[in-house]
Structure 1
């Protein structure tokens, strides 16, 4: 499942992580995250995978249901 810009924003908010913190954790440019979140234009697949992996490593779970996509925090 490819994560959306809204999921990325929500995931960061859920764990109170800044764009800079996520960029460091995922080893990507802060500008890449800012552009994705603001414009919804997804970066390359490998970059999205790095972002998703960094967030999942701290407990974020990306979900997709019949009603849409979202994020939750693993217990």
Structure 2
């Protein structure tokens, strides 16, 4: 389970606002703010949803170990930029199967 500090750090790393995290996760923005500020600990399910949402956005949570808790990006900035370019290419979504010859 992630901490409020990890949540805040992950948002910064993946460059999404608290408002966007609220929209993507379905969790109230005030709940996220109170969690990040260590004013309130939401339900385990709520924290799990925030974690999953941030992971889908590109964060990797590092469990507590020798070096403590942490967060890192799933991709380097260069990889993320290339993925973004590829995803923006557009076009119609279609079946990838090639017809038999």
Give the TM-score of the pair, scaled to structure 2: 0.69
Detail structure 1 runs of 4+ shifted over 3 Å in the superposition: none
Q: Quote the offset at 1:39 in angstroms.
A: 2.3
Q: Which structure shows the bigger proportion of residues in strand conformation?
A: 1
- Higher relative CO (Cα under 8 Å, sequence separation at least 6) belongs to 1
The higher radius of gyration belongs to 2
Q: Which residue of 1 aligns with 2:6?
A: 7
| Stretches of structure 1 lacking an aligned partner (at least 5 in a row) | none
Q: Distance in 2 between matches of 1:6 and 1:39?
A: 8
SS of the equivalent of 1:39 reads coil
Deviates more, 1:21-30 or 1:33-42: 33-42
Q: Which residue of 1 aligns with 2:20?
A: 21
Give the TM-score of the pair, scaled to structure 1: 0.91
Q: Quote the offset at 1:40 in angstroms.
A: 4.8
| Stretches of structure 2 lacking an aligned partner (at least 5 in a row) | 76-101
Give the root-mean-square deviation of aligned CA atoms. Answer: 1.0
